C-alpha cells in the first residue's frame, strides 16, 4: 500500500473518530439539558425569543415583548411551561 493511500486512510479514521466523539458529546449535553433543565439553557432560549414574531413564543409572550417589557414573561402571564425559578 503506497504512503499516500495510508495517509488517506489514517485521515479518514481520525475524521470518523472525531465525528463519533462530537456526536457522543452532543448526545450527553442533550440528555443533561432534558433531565436537569439548567437555568443557562432556559436563559439562552429566552434570549433567542426576545424579539416579537419568534415562532417559539406564545401569543402572550409576543405581546409582552412587543410592548417593550423587560423581565421574565412568566411574571406577567404564568401558564403552561412557565417556570420563572
Tens of pLDDT, residue by residue over 31-65, are: 998 899 888 888 887 777 765 556 555 655 556 55
CA distance 46 to 42: 6
- Is there a single domain that holds both residue 30 and residue 51? no
Domain count for the chain: 2
Is 32 found in the same domain as 2? yes
- Its domain, for residue 18, covers 1-36
With b for 16 or more beta-carbon neighbours within 10 A and e for fewer, the 4-28 pattern comes to: eeeeeeeeeeeeeeeeeeeeeeeee
CA 19 and chain centroid, separation: 19
pLDDT digits (tens, 9 = 90+) for 1-29: 899 999 999 999 999 999 999 999 999 99
Kindly report whether the global pTM for this prediction surpasses the value 0.75.
no
State CA 8 to chain mean position distance: 35
Amino acid at each position: 500500500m503506497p504512503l499516500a493511500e495510508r495517509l488517506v486512510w489514517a485521515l479518514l479514521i481520525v475524521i470518523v473518530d472525531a465525528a463519533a466523539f462530537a456526536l457522543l458529546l452532543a448526545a450527553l449535553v442533550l440528555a443533561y439539558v432534558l433531565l436537569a433543565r439548567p437555568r443557562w439553557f432556559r436563559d439562552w432560549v429566552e434570549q433567542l425569543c426576545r424579539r416579537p414574531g419568534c415562532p417559539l413564543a406564545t401569543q402572550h409572550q409576543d405581546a409582552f415583548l412587543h410592548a417593550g417589557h423587560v423581565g421574565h414573561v412568566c411574571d406577567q402571564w404564568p401558564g403552561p411551561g412557565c417556570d420563572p425559578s
